[in-house]
Amino acid sequence: MAILEVENVSKDLGDFALRDISFKLDEGYIMGFIGPNGAGKTTTIKIIMNLMKKDKGKVRLFGLDYKGHELEIKNRIGFVFDENYYYEELTIKEMKKIIAPFYSNWDEDVFNDYIKKFSLPLNRKIKDLSKGMKMKFSLAVALSHNAELLVMDEPTSGLDPIVRDELLDILSEFIQNENRAVFFSTHITSDLDKIADYITFINEGRILFSSTKEELWDNYVLVKGDKALLDGKLKNSMVGFRENRFGFTGIGFYEKIMALELKDRLVLEKPTLEDIMLYFGRRGDNV
């Protein structure tokens, strides 16, 4: 069953717009949401969380519409946001006392376990926490009310490598219960290599693809070669490429590239997610 469905959502913000975006996430899976700075990730997440109104389209969570089900939906989501939405003057303990009653399934023992695991100082004011500690506090809250879906905006960005790894383990554990799902944005492609089942890529407010990692490896190939080979046919066989002093590198459609006569003169490799982020949608701009 789809835990999260985004269907033809548009939002005009003046200088920026989300254009007709659609994707869906089934229970049992982790989806990474990637794209360059300013691509629309946070805006999409705000719309998913009903923190921003959309102009058009549908968002359904657990098969429900926000209209009439907002409380139930929010209860079933663990949300980690990169902008702080806590009262800075309160301590962790005081803030927890305010938050916990909002959730019908709050589990104090689980919360206390995470506080210990993350070495969080219960009596320190939120404003005096480091960026990583604030993130860990948000995570502890998100994981302590038996949520079925975690929605996270760059949860790993302020974390040191050890805690980041710990978080990825926690997410893998979370998903062991197959009625759950995780949706998170990130710039760190190694996070995705480790745990994401699906990758959704947004660029300039449009979804370029939303597919499993395996589908990506089946459909796309990293192509390198001499500039002299760059004819119209080759260009049309690539979703994006960049030229450099020595030649070009790009992401090609696997089948189209394999059908080219000059394919034997190209260097073909399996792309990393980083390659896909770098070259997707680029039309020959020089580096």
Ligand X SMILES: Nc1ncnc2c1ncn2[C@@H]1O[C@H](COP(=O)(O)OP(=O)(O)OP(=O)(O)O)[C@@H](O)[C@H]1O
- Regarding 83 and contact with ligand X (CB under 6 A), the answer is no
C-beta closer to ligand X: residue 44 or 237: 44
Instruction: Give the binding range for ligand X (CB under 6 A) out of 34-42, 59-67, 238-246, 273-281.
Output: 34-42
User: Ramachandran region of residue 280, left (φ > 0), alpha (ψ -120 to 50) or beta?
Assistant: beta
Nearer to ligand X, 54 or 76 (CB): 54
Distance, CA of 196 to CA of 264 (rounded, Å): 33
Choose the binding region for ligand X from 13-21, 140-148, 220-228, 275-283 (rule: CB under 6 A): 13-21
Strand partners, 241: 250, 283
Q: Minimum distance between the CB of residue 153 and ligand X, rounded to whole angstroms?
A: 7
Min dist. Cβ of residue 54 to ligand X (A): 13
Residue placing its CB nearer to ligand X in the complex, 43 or 156: 43
Cα distance between residue 234 and residue 236, in whole Å: 5
Question: Does residue 55 touch ligand X according to CB under 6 A?
Answer: no
Using alpha carbons only, give the angle 48, 171, 183 rounded to the nearest 5 degrees. 20
- Confirm or reject binding of residue 32 to ligand X (CB under 6 A): no
Nearest distance from residue 141's CB to ligand X, in Å?
A: 21
What whole-number distance in Å separates Cα of residue 238 and Cα of residue 253? 6
Residue from 9, 31, 40, 240 in contact with ligand X (CB under 6 A)? 40
* Burial (0-12, 13-18, 19+ Cβ within 10 Å), 23: buried
Stretch touching ligand X by CB under 6 A, among 31-39, 62-70, 110-118, 218-226:
31-39
Torsion of CA 158, 163, 164, 170, to 10 degrees: -130
By CB under 6 A, residue 38 contacts ligand X: yes
Cβ-based nearer residue to ligand X, 28 or 158: 158
Of 187 and 224, the one with the shorter C-beta distance to ligand X is 187
Residue from 11, 41, 76, 164 touching ligand X (CB under 6 A): that is 41
278 scored as a contact of ligand X (CB under 6 A): no
Select the residue interacting with ligand X from 16, 87, 102, 217 (CB under 6 A): 16
Show the DSSP H helices in the chain as ranges: 41-48, 70-75, 92-99, 108-117, 131-142, 161-174, 189-195, 213-219, 232-236, 254-258, 273-279
Task: Please tell me whether residue 39 binds ligand X under the rule CB under 6 A.
Answer: yes
Mark residue 168 as left, alpha or beta (left: phi above 0; alpha: psi -120 to 50; beta: remaining): alpha
Contact between residue 11 and residue 197 where contact means Cβ atoms under 8 Å apart: no
Chain residues that interact with ligand X, rule: CB under 6 A: 13-14, 16, 35, 37-43
